[in-house]
């Protein structure tokens, strides 16, 4: 594992990338409503990126073994866990949707964040899943400080999720991020405290738990090479922030006024 803590110039670039990524989500949020398509969501995001002068990190992205990703963001509905590809299917009341945005700034820094949307009035179970997933992300974030270990983050998320009867997806995880989309370390959303890489100031990575109402197992859906769904067809939710390890704790780089109110147990967005 090769992790190079970022210097002051790189951190400034990451702050700007995080701000711009969250700005894209803020721009599309007022438009999300029943009847629009996820292609509409993608178009709004692409237009915002064009105004910013940023580029989509996902458009054309092709890791080994995958086809090129064809859209500017990911839209994952209901039982889609992650990497849902926007299409012409209309959103309907009762849907839940994750929108995952990653931008590349003109200086080459990556900002990555995702947000859940409730489409119209949703079931109590769906709203509970979305809220508890949000809280689990913040519990993970609160473990971040110099000297802590990656396992502390995963353990906090797993203990909270399973304590509320939810399951943690294990095939996908958070990741280091900087002037590359995916860097070391991998940030698992389950694990044992006191294990894993030691956190040091200057590290930047995402925390992005995916929680299911049903079982944790997932599978590929269809033949697009990207879409991942729950194997038992249960609902899944995800939230994501990019986080910086500071000298005294953490700083959330992708926070904006467009995100929901912080959970009651969160006393600071930077420590």
- Residues of the binding site for substrate: 83, 182
First to last CA, the chain: 27
C-beta atoms surrounding 34 within 10 Å: 13
Nearest CA among 255, 236, 237, 18 for reference residue 141? 255
Decide: helix, strand or coil at residue 1.
coil
Token readout for 117 is: 């949307």
Binding site feature residues for a divalent metal cation: 100, 112, 175, 208, 240
d(CA 91, CA 85): 14
Q: Which residue has the tokens 């711009």?
A: 20
Give bridge partners of residue 115 from the DSSP assignment: 99
Phi, psi angle pair for 21, to nearest 5°: -65, -45
Binding site feature residues: 83, 100, 112, 175, 182, 208, 240
d(CA 205, CA 221): 28
């Amino acid at each position: 594992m090769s992790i190079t803590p970022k210097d002051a110039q790189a951190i400034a670039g990451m702050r700007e990338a995080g701000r711009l990524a969250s700005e894209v989500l803020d721009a599309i949020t007022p438009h999300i409503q029943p009847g629009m398509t996820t292609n509409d969501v993608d178009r709004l995001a692409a237009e915002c990126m064009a105004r910013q002068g940023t580029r989509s990190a996902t458009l054309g992205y092709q890791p080994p073994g995958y086809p090129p990703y064809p859209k500017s963001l990911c839209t994952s509905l209901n039982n889609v866990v992650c990497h849902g590809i926007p299409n012409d299917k209309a959103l309907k009341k009762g849907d839940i949707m994750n929108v995952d945005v990653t931008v590349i700034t003109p200086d080459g820094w990556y900002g990555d964040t995702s947000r859940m949307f409730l489409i119209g009035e949703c079931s109590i179970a769906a709203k509970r899943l979305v809220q508890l997933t949000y809280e689990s992300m913040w519990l993970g974030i609160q473990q971040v400080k110099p000297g802590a270990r990656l396992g502390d983050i995963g353990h906090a998320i797993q203990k909270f999720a399973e304590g509320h009867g939810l399951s943690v997806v294990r095939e996908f995880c958070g990741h280091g991020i900087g002037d590359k989309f995916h860097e070391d370390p991998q940030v698992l959303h389950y694990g044992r405290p006191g294990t894993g890489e030691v956190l040091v100031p200057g590290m930047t990575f995402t925390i992005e738990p995916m929680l299911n109402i049903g079982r944790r197992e997932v599978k590929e859906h269809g033949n697009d090479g990207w879409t991942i769904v729950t194997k038992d067809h249960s609902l899944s939710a995800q939230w994501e922030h990019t986080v910086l390890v500071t000298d005294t704790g953490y700083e959330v780089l992708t926070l904006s006024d467009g995100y929901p109110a912080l959970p009651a147990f969160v006393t600071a967005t930077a420590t």
